């Protein structure tokens, strides 16, 4: 696989982490009306704080927050540090999608690869083990996957016995169990450089499918998965975290 990136980075202390925190949260507006989705409170704290706690506990030292809608609230709350984390900000002026936000923030990324997390979901998993797994497979992109009983809202990811992604199923299919994209990735810089700049681009729909057969892997996790994308899932997260 000539396209695969080989890197010698050993620990998450040397890695840049990026959190995608720019979503409009339109489905959540009925219950969260005055703030960006990642600032929705769970147990009296912004959901984003729980994601930052996970990164801090894994030994990450630097995080780039990719903000958008009402992003000034995020920066005002968290400023330039959180626990042992140094925080940097990449603020989009127009919605750029999950991939476009990373392309905009690329000059701030000091490591290759980059650990990327969705700011509106939480997977209970060992990030250090996931990072090591990515390097052991000499992958270009690794996706954290989790098993769900009903994948209709998320779509399914199919991997072979080695963990290589072989296909994606669209959302809104029939109700069935399977592995879904849990919103945590390790992405090599050459992949990020393929993202067209200055326009909205989706990782899930436009970037990841192109890398099937070119070093795209899925790591299967057994941890809890929570997201706050809808009022129902937000309520469930409030009870679970």
CA distance 155 to 179: 8
DSSP 31-51: T--SS-GGG-EETTEEHHHHH
Which entry of 37, 147, 171, 174 is annotated as an active-site residue?
Answer: 171
CA distance 173 to 157: 13
CA distance 221 to 24: 28
Half-sphere CA count of 156, side-chain side, radius 13 A: 18
CA distance 136 to 142: 11
Could you confirm whether 110 is annotated as catalytic? no
CA distance 170 to 199: 23
Q: Collect all residues with Cβ–Cβ distance below 8 Å to 86 and sequence separation of at least 6.
A: 61, 62, 63, 80
| 56 and 102 Cβ atoms separated by less than 8 Å | no
Report CA torsion sign: 58, 63, 69, 73: positive
CA distance 123 to 146: 8
CA distance 18 to 185: 10
Give the catalytic positions in this structure. 171
């Amino acid at each position: 696989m000539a396209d695969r990136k080989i890197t010698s980075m050993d620990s998450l202390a040397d890695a840049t982490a990026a959190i995608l925190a720019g979503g409009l949260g339109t489905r959540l507006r009925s219950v969260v009306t005055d703030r960006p989705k990642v600032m929705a409170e769970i147990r009296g704290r912004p959901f984003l704080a729980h994601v930052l706690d996970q990164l801090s506990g894994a030994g990450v030292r630097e995080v780039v927050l990719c903000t958008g809608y009402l992003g000034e609230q995020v920066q005002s709350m968290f400023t330039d540090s959180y626990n042992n984390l140094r925080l940097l900000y990449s603020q989009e002026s127009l919605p750029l999608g999950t991939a476009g936000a990373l392309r905009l923030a690329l000059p701030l990324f000091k490591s290759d690869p980059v650990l990327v997390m969705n700011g509106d979901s939480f997977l209970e998993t060992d990030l250090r083990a996931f990072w090591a797994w990515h390097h052991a497979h000499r992958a270009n992109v690794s996706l954290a996957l989790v098993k769900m009983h009903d994948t209709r809202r998320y779509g399914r990811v199919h991997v072979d016995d080695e963990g290589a992604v072989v296909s994606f199923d669209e959302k809104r299919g029939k109700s069935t169990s399977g592995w879904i994209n849990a919103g945590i990735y390790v992405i090599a810089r050459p992949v990020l450089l393929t993202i067209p700049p200055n326009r909205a681009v989706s990782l899930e729909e436009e970037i990841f499918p192109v890398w099937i057969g070119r070093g795209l892997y899925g790591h299967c996790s057994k941890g809890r998965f929570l997201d706050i994308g809808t009022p129902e899932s937000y309520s469930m997260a409030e009870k679970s975290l």
